[in-house]
Amino acid sequence: MTYIVTDNCIACKYTDCVEVCPVDCFYEGENMLVIHPDECIDCGVCEPECPADAIRPDTEPDMEKWVEFNRKYSEAWPVIVTKKDQLPEAEERDGEEGKLDKYFSEAPGEGG
């Protein structure tokens, strides 16, 4: 099992999770985070830290596409280990449907 980030993170990008990760497996895009599934040690400490409920175990139904999504972008984006402010529109976008099609950016974040 591994934990992965889903589209609930898009346009929110809370970073509470990165500070508790013992193996630094979070990677930062312009408007979301991902977890490298091969680096995650399945400890689960990040899941309850996410205010947007965007971190899920890969054992939930229909998570295969998100595992591959997280793998693809974790190999392209910089690692992030320090908490940053969430995006300005985070509260209004939290829980919004269709965020992948509406807002997702492939651009990397700053990392850090």
- Does the pLDDT of residue 56 top 90, yes or no? yes
From the list 65, 35, 70, the residue with the least C-alpha distance to 50 is: 35
CA distance 107 to 112: 16
Residue whose token pair is 């990008």: 13
Positive or negative: CA dihedral 46, 54, 107, 74: positive
The pLDDT of residue 97 is 95
The pLDDT of residue 1 is 87
Alpha helices per DSSP H over the chain: 16-20, 64-74, 90-93, 99-103
pLDDT (mean) for 5-20: 97
Residue whose token pair is 């013992």: 22
pLDDT band at 45 (very low <50, low <70, confident <90, very high): very high
- Does the pLDDT of residue 7 top 90, yes or no? yes
Beta bridge partners of 53: none
Residue whose token pair is 């175990």: 57
